[in-house]
A = this chain, B = another copy of it.
Amino acid sequence: MAQARGRLYGLLLLCFSCKWVSTAPTEHLISSLPGQPQVSFRQYSGYINVDESAGTNLFYYFVEAQSNASSQPLALWLNGGPGCSSIGGGAFTELGPFYPNGKGDGLRINPYSWNKVANVLFLESPAGVGWSYSRIPAGYRYNDARVANESLVFLLRWFQRFPEYSERPLFLTGESYAGHYIPQLALLMARHNGRMSRGAAAFGFNLHGILVGNPLLNYGVDTSATYSFLWSHGLISDNTYKGVASTCDFRYGYTGQNPDDASKSQGKKAHACPNFLVSARAEVGAFINMYDVTLDVCAPPIVHQALLLHKLMGHLVETSKEGSDEVDVCIDHELTRYLNHPTVQRALHANLTSLPYAWEACSDIVDYKYEDQLEDMLPLLKDLVKSRVRIWIFSGDQDSVVPLTGTRSQLTTLAHHLRLKTMIPYSAWYANGQVGGWVEAYEESLGLVYATVRGAAHMVPYAQPERALILFSSFLHAQPLPSRSS
């Protein structure tokens, strides 16, 4: 059904793109966002139906490039979770053109927005995330395959509304659980394009590459890496780490236990790993941002105080400086306040059905098949390398949730198995005169690249926006990351 529709829209697309006329939907054009600094590029947002029977409507926010929008590539951005918002994550706290101001009642410019070099499309996926919704409870039941399918349908229908972008070089980007979303969507696109080449589809995606940060690729490897990261960065003790390393096997999930063994064995042995995990949690404590172990946290008492003040005085105290280079650790609170304001939702053409819950950065409504997180993504990446899709994987190096060490070892393994030629051996890359991170690149076309971003969180463009923009721009143009300090 969805495929048939995709084909139909594909025909329309082809037609539109031949004419090369902007037919962007005027009803989705954003005239201005409340408290928004003036800008010269266009923004769009609204709903796209991806499943009529379930009444599933996905929300998107699209920003055209700041200059030469008609010749810049198109990048889709997906946050992970599963269940977290690409609007709240990517668009307004990481790589979009605006950040909330300290009061949460307006916006400030992000000087390192990715729409300086690309048109960027943020998709709120799956239904249940942010303002994306379904008409029936079953519409919130998801697994990796359904997310990939609906994302494909979304893109087909989005291109129908924005046909001038249909032949533009397309890049899939994202972070975290998007390590699952993106390889699967990319392979689905390749399959779709295969149908086109056989004459069974009228439209083909012009997919050039994928870029994923701190991606979940293999739960066993990535979660083991979490505990060695916590240990090597001083957050847990020698004893606890040794215990975790010797008793936990995260291939079976976050409890670190083979469920068969756990049900069979008795007493201490059955609880050895879980007990060490409890120790680890106690040692780290409750006041660490696990997504960036060097970053401070937004202090709850201050937030509380700010909210009280707001009630009393009609506004929030300013917690971040306009244009400051410092990372605003309270940005999530400010954004939640901003996006829940009715005038903001009206300006965004959002929440048209008056959802019975507030906008949240990450959703509890999505009913995800968590077994899917145990799937290994390396075989998919292998297929993508073979089909010549550019793959750049990066790690914010302060993240303990999907730490660089696990991701790096998997990329090393991938390159080794595919016998890829090393073009850039492991070495520092530079941003604004300082080391931006380290990089290792394979193949002459830089088709497979692994890079770290120094001093960056799980949400890389949030903690290191300038370094992230340099990385994104290099990726788009398949150019080596700057190898000199000046």
Interface residues of A (CB under 8 A from B): 228-229, 231-240, 282-285, 287-288, 293-294, 296-297, 299, 301-302, 395, 397-398, 404-405, 408-409, 412, 425-428, 430, 433-435, 437-438, 440, 452, 454-455, 485-486
Known contacts A285-B428, A426-B283, A438-B283; A452 and B234 CB within 8 A of each other: yes
- Complex: chain B residue closest to A408, CB-CB: B238
Q: Is the CB of A234 within 8 A of B430?
A: no
Whether the pair A440, B397 counts as a contact (CB closer than 8 A) is: no
Known: A229-B232, A239-B412. 13 other contacts (CB 8 A): A228-B232, A234-B395, A234-B405, A235-B438, A237-B425, A238-B412, A283-B428, A285-B427, A287-B428, A293-B454, A297-B434, A299-B434, A301-B433
Q: Given contacts A283-B426, A412-B238, is CB(A233)–CB(B397) below 8 Å?
A: yes
- B235, A434: Cβ atoms closer than 8 Å: no
User: Given the complex, which residues of B lie within 8 Å of A296, measured CB to CB?
Assistant: 434
Name the contact of A435 in the complex, choosing from B285, B301, B302, B404 (C-beta under 8 A): B285
Chain B residues with CB under 8 Å of A282's CB are: 427
Q: For residue A293, which residue of chain B has the nearest CB?
A: B454
Could you tell me the distance in whole angstroms from the C-beta of A70 to the nearest C-beta in chain B? Answer: 38
**Quick one: which of B236, B284, B404 contacts A234, CB cutoff 8 A?**
B404
Chain B residues whose CB sits within 8 angstroms of the CB of A426 once the complex forms: 236-237, 239-240, 283
Residues of B within 8 A of A288 (CB): 428, 435
Chain B residue, CB-CB nearest to A429: B285
- For the complex, give the distance between the alpha carbons of A398 and B398 in Å: 11
In the docked arrangement, what's the CA distance between A455 and B287, Å? 14
**Dominant secondary structure at the A interface:** mixed
Chain B residue contacts of A297, Cβ below 8 A: 434
When distances are taken between beta carbons in the complex, the residues of chain B under 8 Å from A229 are 232
Q: How far is the CA of A283 from the CA of B440 in the complex (A)?
A: 10
Would you call A237 and B440 a contact (CB within 8 A)?
A: yes
Complex contacts, A437 vs chain B, CB 8 Å:
234
Closest Cβ–Cβ distance, residue A158 to chain B (whole Å): 36
27 A-B contacts (beta carbon < 8 Å):
A228-B232, A229-B232, A233-B397, A234-B397, A234-B437, A234-B438, A234-B452, A235-B438, A237-B408, A238-B408, A238-B412, A240-B426, A283-B426, A283-B428, A283-B438, A285-B427, A285-B428, A285-B435, A287-B428, A287-B435, A287-B485, A288-B428, A294-B294, A294-B455, A299-B433, A299-B485, A301-B433
**Residues of B close to A302: CB separation below 8 A:** 433
Task: Say how far A139's CB is from chain B's closest CB, in angstroms.
Answer: 41
Contacts of A438 in B (CB 8 A): 234-235, 283
- On whether the beta carbons of B408 and A234 are closer than 8 Å, the reply is yes
Contact of A428 among B284, B294, B433, B452 (CB under 8 A): B284
Across the interface, which residues of B come within 8 angstroms of A440, CB to CB?
A: 237
**CB proximity of A302 to chain B, nearest CB, Å:** 8
Known: A240-B426, A282-B427, A284-B428. A232 touches B232 (CB 8 A): yes
- Closest residue of chain B to A237 (Cβ to Cβ) is B426
Q: Looking across the interface, which residue of chain B has its beta carbon closest to that of A231?
A: B405
The contact of A233 among B232, B427, B486, by CB within 8 Å, is: B232
Alpha-carbon separation in the docked complex, A433 to B299 (Å): 7
